[in-house]
Amino acid sequence: MTTTAPAADSRALGLAHYAARGVLERVLARHGITFHQQVTLRAAVTAESPRTPDDIVAQVQGALKADPADVRAALDALLAKRLLVADGTHLCPTDAGRELIAVTAAEVAPFSARIWGGIPADDLAAAGRVLALVTERADAELAALD
C-alpha cells in the first residue's frame, strides 16, 4: 500500500510552525521569557552594532508581522528584566541577555535535531525554496494591503 504525502498548503505550514514553536515556547517558559521577547532579544544580541528601539521594532515587526505595540511591549519587558539596557539612544544586550539566548539555544538544539534529523537534504532544499517563495508572495500581499 502506498500513501501519498499531503500537498503543502497554509494549514500544513501553520501546523508545522505551531508544533515547533510549541517546543520552543515550553523551553522559554522555564526561563520566564515569551516567544516575542526571545525574538526581540535575539535581534539585539545578533546585531552587528547597537540598535535603536525603532530599528529593533522594525526588524521584529517585519519578521513576525507583529503589531509594533507588541514588539515595544517585549522591549519594555526585556529592559525590566535587565536583559537589555539603554545606552544613549541604543539598546544593548546585557551579559544576562546574551547568556539567556545561548542557554535557550542549547536547550532547544536536541529537540531541533530530533525534529529535523533524517530529512533528506534534497527535501530540505525543496522545502526551503517553497517557503522562501511563499514568504515573498505573502510579504507582497501584505504590502499591497497597506
Task: Give per-residue pLDDT as tens, 82-138.
Answer: 999 999 999 999 999 999 999 999 999 999 999 999 999 999 999 999 999 999 999
6 is a domain residue: no
Query: In terms of residue numbers, what domain contains 79?
Result: 24-116
Quote the pTM value: 0.89
- pLDDT on residue 6: 79
Q: Using CA atoms, how far apart are residues 103 and 98, in angstroms rounded to an integer? A: 9
Structural domain includes residue 131: no
List pLDDT tens digits, range 13-52. 999 999 999 999 999 999 999 999 999 999 999 999 999 9
Alpha-carbon Rg for the chain in angstroms: 18
Number of domains within the chain: 1
DSSP string, 52-118: -HHHHHHHHHHHH---HHHHHHHHHHHHHTTSEEEETTEEEE-HHHHHHHHHHHHHHHHHHHHHHTT
- What CATH number is given to the structural domain containing 90? 1.10.10.10
Q: Is residue 125 part of a domain?
A: no
* Residue 64 in domain: yes
Do the domain assignments include residue 77? yes
Asked whether residue 49 is domain-assigned, the answer is yes
Residue 100, in any domain of the structure: yes
Q: Answer whether residue 10 is part of any domain.
A: no
